[in-house]
């Protein structure tokens, strides 16, 4: 290179940076010169840290870029930048602070800094009133911790950072505490810090005095995702739809530019197929809480004492109900608190009913849940309310009773069962769902207290079937832990899956075993066809057995051998058949198979809001729907014969077709004239009276 170009290098830092990366030894003198300039400008900057210095910005980024070429000469650069940010980070110019932070990120990515010191510095810089800086630091912290734990977990680094974040949650700066909490939540969602310590650190944030921090922590346990600012989606995929490019390639002219776009679109499609986002709702976080009883009690105390917005109260009630339902906690004061909001006019009342169902489990005393049921029935299931309100109330009663069946009394169940003959379809469907729930739980033990006969019981809850007879009603606190496969008594003691065929020929071992068992030499063997299974099921000998004998047989079969998938299918079919067939011959209409509705699993941890809000009726038409119906009726109808006659849609219409759309007064005279003078002989034959009248006139 000529001397002229070499003399311009000190003033052209990007060119010098490029040359140094290619040949560090040849440009060592120029590097030292720029390093000395940096030291002198930095001394001036430290005297006035609030002043903006363009030279310091350019030289700092230059040295960070070439740091990998001269690691010994720049070994003190990370410590120097860290010290400046620690002392003057909050008062510095925003552009200079951002440049120094980006320089430290470059040094960390090249392995010239330890992650602990840098990440702790970045957490402290969350206190700065600079939104762009906080977002940049947030993205780097998440990506750096994820990169460190990608191959193997760095427990030492994770423990130190988690302890530091725990202190940051108690920081006086609400912004810094909120950003630290966001980092922990994001790392949990990315399966980097998915452990009990992270969850219990977030538990402490639920009791923060700052509402934003408390709401973020509660939303984490509820599984609600906030708007993610650092969405790393490809900009090309947002601007161009890959599927449209694939379709356009079939007809468009083939060019190099379109080919490049097409290749890019194919890569995006492959990338989108590989990306499988995890479920937004992650319920395992509640299982990692160390003290769920204390957590729920603290949340309820905070809910009752603090004056927050109603939306925040709803989120807190939702979290408390989930804690009670998942861990089967005892928090008796929570149910009377919910009853205050169970009014039809209350905002988000369906959510409140949902919380009541989620907070119910078998270990809650039935007397407490009975008060909850009475409140729902008295406020919702009354004829002074609308049909939708009554249906929602019955659905809420069903969801509560599915988790605590002993809370329902015989008198209340008998009254609610009478709504199956109500005049509204929605109320009838909800009442029948409640009837179906208790039909599967042997309801005769409840309705027998009413004092009516057996016919009344069957009229309310249906005739008992073989499946309802076999059900055991559990008492309060009783656990039904079965050690066998229920319904296995219909199987044979020998394993049917052991009989196999290979290559269309019978197995020799099976033939030998069959001959020994039959005691015959090459005799015929009876084989049952699959079409005879239905008849065999009706003649099943297990029907004559008592419940204890069937359980003993099922336990012996399930414990002595393995059960195949085909045999499990046979057990399921037999259980469905028991729900259809009556327990003993009864006069009356036989229940149809379509009436058998499977009841959802009452042991599920969550209750779907649609289970309470589902109304089996057609909603009333609003004004827009009615107007659309009216306009649709005004559209002129085109006859099929006119469509066939007019093959050309652009052709003009005839006078006869135009007359149809004219008012009657315009064509009245023509019709009357035609009726008098232009009638055909056939028309005259149709009206014999008029013909006779005309003949009489002619005779005169």
Grouping H, G, I as helix, E, B as strand and the rest as coil, residue 475 is coil
> Which range is most confident: 5-14, 469-478, 624-633?
624-633
Q: What is the pLDDT of residue 115?
A: 86
- DSSP-derived letter for residue 449 is G
pLDDT at 201 over 60: yes
pLDDT at position 457 is 47
> Phi-psi bin for 141: left (phi > 0), alpha (psi -120 to 50), beta?
alpha
What average pLDDT is seen over the chain? 77
Phi/psi-derived region of residue 579, left when phi > 0, alpha when psi is between -120 and 50, beta in every other case: alpha
* pLDDT tops 60 at residue 99: yes
Instruction: For residue 242, give both structure tokens.
Output: 């890959």
pLDDT for position 635: 62
**Considering Cα of 420, then 426, then 432, then 437, what sign does the dihedral take?**
negative
pLDDT digits (tens, 9 = 90+) for 204-215: 999 999 999 999
β-partners of residue 501 are: 506
- pLDDT, tens digit, for every residue of 101-149? 999 999 998 888 888 888 889 988 998 888 899 999 999 999 999 988 8
Asked whether residue 419 carries a pLDDT value surpassing 50, the answer given is yes
Nearest to 169 by CA among 126, 137, 129, 138: 126
Name, of 38-47, 544-553, 612-621, the range with top average pLDDT: 38-47
Report, as an integer, the average pLDDT of 263-272.
75
Angstrom distance (rounded) from CA 162 to CA 166: 6
CB burial readout 566-604, b (16+ within 10 A) else e:
ebeebbeebeebbbbebeeeeeeeeeeeeebeeeeebee
Two tokens, residue 450:
């009413």
Element at 425 (helix H, strand E):
helix 425-439
Two tokens at 106?
Answer: 């470059």
User: Rounded to whole angstroms, what are the CA distances from 336 to 325, 341, 400, 523, 647?
Assistant: 17, 9, 15, 76, 75
Give the contacts of 658 (CB within 8 A, at least 6 positions apart). Answer: none
Query: H or E stretch including 501?
Result: strand 501-502
- Residues 347-371 have a mean pLDDT of 93
Assess whether pLDDT exceeds 90 at residue 301: yes
pLDDT at 464: 61
The answer to whether 325 touches 331, Cβ cutoff 8 Å, is no
| Res. 323: pLDDT tops 90 | yes
3-state secondary structure 342-408: CCCCCCCHHHHHHHHHHCCCCCCCHHHHHHHHHHHHHHCCCCCCCHHHHHHHHHHHHHHHHHCHHHC
d(CA 223, CA 338): 22
Tokens representing residue 93 in the block: 């110019």
Q: What would the mean pLDDT of 386-398 be, rounded to a whole number?
A: 93
Indicate if the alpha-carbon torsion angle 93, 95, 99, 105 is positive or negative. Answer: positive
Structure tokens belonging to residue 402: 């599915």
CA-based diameter of the chain, in Å? 139
Give pTM, 2 decimals. Answer: 0.69
pLDDT at position 546 is 73
Q: How far apart are CA 223 and CA 281, in angstroms?
A: 4
Separation CA 312–CA 639 (nearest Å): 61
Interacting residues of 195 by C-beta distance below 8 A, sequence separation 6+: 288
Enter the DSSP assignment of 582. B
Nearest to 190 by CA among 235, 243, 137, 230: 230
Quick check: 216 and 181 in contact, CB under 8 A? yes
In whole angstroms, what is the distance from residue 108 CA to residue 105 CA?
A: 5
- How would you classify residue 698: left for phi > 0, otherwise alpha for psi between -120 and 50, otherwise beta? alpha
Among 93-97, 467-471, 482-486, the range of highest mean pLDDT: 93-97
State whether residue 128 is helix, strand or coil. coil
Residue 321 has pLDDT above 90, yes or no: yes
Is residue 105 within 8 A of residue 140, CB to CB? The reply is yes
The mean pLDDT of 678-687, rounded to a whole number, is 66
pLDDT of residue 673: 52
> How confident is the model at residue 692, as a pLDDT?
58
Residue 599 has pLDDT above 60, yes or no: no
Residue 554 near residue 485 (C-beta atoms within 8 A): yes
For residues 489, 494, 500, 506, the Cα torsion angle rounded to the nearest 10 degrees is -130
Residue entry with tokens 């939306």:
311
What share of the chain in percent tops pLDDT 70?
69
Closest listed residue to residue 431, CA positions, set 664, 616, 683, 158: 616
3-state SS class at 217: helix
- Find, among 634, 485, 639, 479, the residue nearest to 555 by Cα: 485
d(CA 17, CA 1): 16
- Coil, strand or helix: which one is 465? strand
358 contacts 321 by C-beta, under 8 angstroms: yes
State the pLDDT at residue 641: 58
Six token digits for residue 528: 């049952």
Lookup: tokens for 541? 């000998």
């Amino acid at each position: 290179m000529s001397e002229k170009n070499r003399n311009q290098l000190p003033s052209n830092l990007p060119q010098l940076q490029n040359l140094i990366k290619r040949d560090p030894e040849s440009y060592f003198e120029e590097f030292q010169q720029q390093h000395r300039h940096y030291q002198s400008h930095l001394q001036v900057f430290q005297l006035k840290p609030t002043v903006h210095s363009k030279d310091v910005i350019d030289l700092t980024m230059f040295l960070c870029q070439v740091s990998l070429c001269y690691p010994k000469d720049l070994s003190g650069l990370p410590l120097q930048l860290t010290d400046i940010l620690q002392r003057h980070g909050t008062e510095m110019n925003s552009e200079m602070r951002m440049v120094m932070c980006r320089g430290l990120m470059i040094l960390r990515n090249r392995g010239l800094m330890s992650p602990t010191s840098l990440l702790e510095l970045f957490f402290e810089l969350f206190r700065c009133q600079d939104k762009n800086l906080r977002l940049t630091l947030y993205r780097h912290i998440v990506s750096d911790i994820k990169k460190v734990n990608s191959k193997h977990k760095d427990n030492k680094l994770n423990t130190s950072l988690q302890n530091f974040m725990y202190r940051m949650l108690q920081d006086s700066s609400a912004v810094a505490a909120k950003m630290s909490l966001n980092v922990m939540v994001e790392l949990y969602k990315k399966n980097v810090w998915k452990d009990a310590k992270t969850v219990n650190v977030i538990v402490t944030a639920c009791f923060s005095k700052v509402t934003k921090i408390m709401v973020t922590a509660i939303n984490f346990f509820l599984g609600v995702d906030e708007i993610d600012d650092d969405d790393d989606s490809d900009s090309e995929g947002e601007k161009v739809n890959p599927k449209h490019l694939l379709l356009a390639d079939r007809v468009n002219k083939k060019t190099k530019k379109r080919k490049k776009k097409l290749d890019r679109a194919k890569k995006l499609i492959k990338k989108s197929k590989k990306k499988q986002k995890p479920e937004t709702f992650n319920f395992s976080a509640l299982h990692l809480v160390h003290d769920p009883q204390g957590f729920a009690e603290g949340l309820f105390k905070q809910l009752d004492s603090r004056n927050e917005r109603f939306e925040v109260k709803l989120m807190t009630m939702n979290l408390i109900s989930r804690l009670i339902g998942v861990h089967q906690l005892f928090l008796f004061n929570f149910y009377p608190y919910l009853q205050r909001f169970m009014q039809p006019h209350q905002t988000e009342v369906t959510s409140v009913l949902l919380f009541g169902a989620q907070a119910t489990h078998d270990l809650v005393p039935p007397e407490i849940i009975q008060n909850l049921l009475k409140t729902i029935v008295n406020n919702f299931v009354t004829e002074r309310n609308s049909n939708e309100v009554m249906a929602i109330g019955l659905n809420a009663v069903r969801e509560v009773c599915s988790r605590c069946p002993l809370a329902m009394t015989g008198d209340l169940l008998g009254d609610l069962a009478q709504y199956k003959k109500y005049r509204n379809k929605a109320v009838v469907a909800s009442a029948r769902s409640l009837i179906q729930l208790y039909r599967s739980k042997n309801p005769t033990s409840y309705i027998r207290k009413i004092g009516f006969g057996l016919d009344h019981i069957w009229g309310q809850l249906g005739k008992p079937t073989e499946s309802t007879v076999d059900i055991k009603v559990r008492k309060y606190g009783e656990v039904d832990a079965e050690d066998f496969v229920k319904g296995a008594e219909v199987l044979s003691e020998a394993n049917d899956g052991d009989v196999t065929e290979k290559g269309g020929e019978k197995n020799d071992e099976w033939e030998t075993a069959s001959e020994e068992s039959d005691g015959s030499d090459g005799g015929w063997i009876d084989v049952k066809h699959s079409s005879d299974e239905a008849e065999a099921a009706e003649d099943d000998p297990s029907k004559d057995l008592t419940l204890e004998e069937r359980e003993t047989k099922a336990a012996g079969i399930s414990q002595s051998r393995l059960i195949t998938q085909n045999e499990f299918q046979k057990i399921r079919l037999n259980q469905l058949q028991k729900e259809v067939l009556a327990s003993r011959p009864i006069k009356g209409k036989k229940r149809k198979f379509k009436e058998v509705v499977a009841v959802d699993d009452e042991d599920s941890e969550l209750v779907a809001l649609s289970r309470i809000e589902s109304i089996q009726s057609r909603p009333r038409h609003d004004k827009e729907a009615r107007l659309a119906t009216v306009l649709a009726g005004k559209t002129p109808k085109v006859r099929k014969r006119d469509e066939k006659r007019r093959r050309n849609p652009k052709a003009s219409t005839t006078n006869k077709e135009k007359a149809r759309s004219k008012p009657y007064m315009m064509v009245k005279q023509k019709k009357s004239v035609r009726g008098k003078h232009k009638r055909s002989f056939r028309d005259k034959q149709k009206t014999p009276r008029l013909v006779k009248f005309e003949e009489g006139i002619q005779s005169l």
